[in-house]
Amino acid sequence: MSWVIARRAVIALVTLLLATVVVFAAVHALPGGPTTALSADSTDPAALAATMHVYGFDKPLPVQYGRWLGQVLSGQLGTSPITDIPVSTQLEQRLPITLELAVLSLLFAIAIGVPAGVAAAVRPGRVIDWVASAVALGGLSLPHFWFGILAILIFAVHLHVLPSGGFVPLANGLGGNLEHMAMPAIVLGTGLAAVIMRQTRAAMIEALGADYVRTARAKGMREWQVIWVHALRNSLMIVVTVVGLQLGGLIAGIVTVEEVFNIPGIGQLTLESVYQRDYPTLQGAVLLTAAGYIIVNLLTDVCYTLINPRLRVTATRGTT
Amino acid sequence: MTAGIAGPAVPDPVSGRVAARIVRTARVRPRFTALAIVGAAGSLIVVLVAVFGPLTASYDPNATNFAVVLAPPGAPHHLLGTDQLGRDVLSRMLYGARSTLAAGILSTLLGTAVGLPYGMVAGYFRGPVDMLLMRIADVMLAFPFLLLAVGLAAISEPTLWTAVLALGVAQVPAIARIARGATLEVRDLEYVQAALVNGEGDLTILWRQILPNVLRPVTVQTTVAIPASIVGAAILAFLGLGVQPPTADWGGMLAQAQQYLNQSVWLGVFPGIAIFLAALCFNLLGDGITDALNPRGR
């Protein structure tokens, strides 16, 4: 089994390396690259050449890539030509904010999605299933950014119970931090909760019809134990998988929610750097996001292999 | 242990419960089918609005009229009111349906058109071809549609077409994986081997023997992807990474409305409801199709 995980890790590493090539090539080899952005600001060719030399833009592309990759590996992602702040510093400042938002919304999604899915699966076709399924379908169709705008209108503008946006660091007090994070996390978590609910419901309905559940019931085990211990334990694997699969959507959600609520995270940094054509920052932010995506996918795969004994066998056969 | 409580006198509780569940599940199905019909009808209406709606619009979506700025819904001659430039909101909504839906549907078609043959080739030839194609797909998977759109926006001016490209390319890996899996399932079956022995070429076999088996799971994925792409297209327009103003688009209308919500809440409500309802109808339709084609899928 350990070599299955090792194989996964190697594949992830190769994917990561290819991703760096894609990021680098996309920004540099295509029209509208840093050369154009810099030359737009400067009319003096000598000054331009000097600037290009300082940032190494006058070297051949493979050399630039090698140099850049070396810097990336040593944690140096270059300096933003627009703000003059090192990219790594900006990422370091903003990553915890985005991570907090992601974790809080994930917790919210699991806290709502799993119990709702179980409740719906225990009584399929009844009122509770009907209501939970309808709400989930609604949550699935709701665009984050619109939900966010509505939430600001209701809770910040009209009721004045929560701030309309911004961010307070944890160091300045947990209360203020959570007050600012509550709305964004709930808005972001809603869509995910809907997906988790639907998957949990489907998995639980299947599990509750399985032989081992019948055996547990035949043994005279209490119904709540059958549901919450036996059936749910198997269904929880679904949550792990769903979180992995939904990550792409979660990243889009994070960017929009950070934009709507004015949260200075990685998403907002990415958008700012696109608008300002700040290429080193953009490279760093996109690379960090892609790397995060690959790493979380790897962790999902590993978790899945560890939890599910059946997969250990199929994984050895190399089905990916 | 509570084993003794349910003695032999009690009628077998387990099978009773299972039977009840089967009956209940049977009762559930028709309602979901009814919902699927509602979804199909709703989706059809949304598509019809996108195609023919602009013909019924009473105003040019970009015609400004500073005499009636930020008129509330129900104002004379403006059923849904006007925006900050005095443009008719209803006319903009009707035109906006076009770009939002076009981006949602075209991108899914693009993703399928590329992902389907991609996955089939990987699954059919296996070996190094499969390995190479799937590693490339893994790399693509690491760039969700928003990152692709960000990248495209950095390279060129964002338009409806860069949004379609970003949303479409992002769907390729998922569709390719499904197509590959379905191809692997059938490629070693006797009838495919028989075709091979008959001397049929790889292309003919892929087209005639394998494609029919791959279409079903890919259709399921496609119907799930369309509503997500509609919301995705709206997100891109909202962030300024897709359709650009002044072109009417539901996501773009919401972005502009944000600054005027204090004066006119409605500007931020109608386009959102439109996106929500369009996605909801396509989700209902998708659920219905998934149910019909893939009974174990839900």
Q: What is the ipTM of this complex?
A: 0.80
Instruction: DSSP for A115-158, please give it.
Output: HHHHHHHHSTTSHHHHHHHHHHHHHHHS-HHHHHHHHIIIIIII
For the cut 70, the answer to whether the pLDDT of residue A282 exceeds it is yes
| Burial of A264 from C-beta contacts in 10 A (0-12 / 13-18 / 19+) | middle
With tokens 């009584």, the residue in question is A123
Tell me the pLDDT band of B118, cut-offs 50, 70 and 90. very high
Instruction: Provide Rg for chain B, Cα atoms.
Output: 25
Per the DSSP assignment, residues forming a β-bridge with B78 are B75
Residue B237, min C-alpha distance to chain A (Å): 11
Structural domains of chain B, ranges and CATH numbers in brackets? 32-59+74-292 (1.10.3720.10)
Residue B298 is predicted with a pLDDT of 40
Q: For A112-136, how does the pLDDT look when each residue is reduced to its tens digit (9 = 90+)?
A: 999 999 999 888 888 888 888 888 8
For the cut 90, the answer to whether the pLDDT of residue B278 exceeds it is yes
Residue A171, min C-alpha distance to chain B (Å): 31
Residue A133, min C-alpha distance to chain B (Å): 11
What is each CA distance from A22 to A78, A249, A269, A295, B107, in whole angstroms?
18, 21, 20, 17, 21
Q: Does A258 touch chain B (CB under 8 A)?
A: no
List phi, psi (to 5°) of A81. Answer: -70, -15
Helix axes B270-293, B250-257, angle to 10 degrees: 140
**Domain range list for chain A:** 1-83+279-292+307-320, 94-277
A179 and A104 in contact (C-beta within 8 Å)?
Answer: no
Q: Which residues of A touch B154 (CB under 8 A)?
A: 26-27, 32, 274, 277, 279, 282
C-alpha atoms less than 13 angstroms from C-alpha of B137 in its C-beta half-sphere: 26
Residue A29 is predicted with a pLDDT of 57
For residue A318, the chain B residue with the least C-alpha distance is: B131
Residue A246, min C-alpha distance to chain B (Å): 10
For residue A30, the chain B residue with the least C-alpha distance is: B155
Per the DSSP assignment, residues forming a β-bridge with A86 are A79
Whether A19 sits inside 8 A of B238 (CB atoms) is: no
List phi, psi (to 5°) of A65. Answer: -65, -45
Q: Does A82 touch chain B (CB under 8 A)?
A: no
Residue B4 is predicted with a pLDDT of 34
Tell me the pLDDT band of B212, cut-offs 50, 70 and 90. confident
DSSP state of A42: -
Whether B239 sits inside 8 A of A255 (CB atoms) is: yes
| CB proximity list for A71: less than 8 A, separation 6 or greater | A77, A78
For residue A214, the chain B residue with the least C-alpha distance is: B14
Q: Which residues of B touch A202 (CB under 8 A)?
A: 297-298
Q: For A91-104, how does the pLDDT look when each residue is reduced to its tens digit (9 = 90+)?
A: 999 999 999 999 99
Residue B6 is predicted with a pLDDT of 34
Q: Which residues of A touch B297 (CB under 8 A)?
A: 202
Q: Which residues of B touch A146 (CB under 8 A)?
A: 254, 268, 271-272, 275-276
Question: Which residue in B2, B18, B31 is closest to A220 by CB distance?
Answer: B2
Q: Which residues of A touch B14 (CB under 8 A)?
A: 214, 217-218
Which residue of A206, A273, A274, A289 is the best one to mutate when testing the B interface, meaning the one whose CB has the most B CBs within 10 A? A274
Average pLDDT of the segment spanning B1-27: 44
- Between 3.40.50.300, 2.60.40.1080, 3.20.20.70, 1.10.3720.10, what CATH number should domain A94-277 receive? 1.10.3720.10
For the cut 50, the answer to whether the pLDDT of residue B1 exceeds it is no
Between B284 and B78, name the one with better pLDDT.
B284
Q: For B33-92, how does the pLDDT look when each residue is reduced to its tens digit (9 = 90+)?
A: 788 888 889 999 999 988 888 888 778 888 788 877 777 887 777 788 888 888 888 889
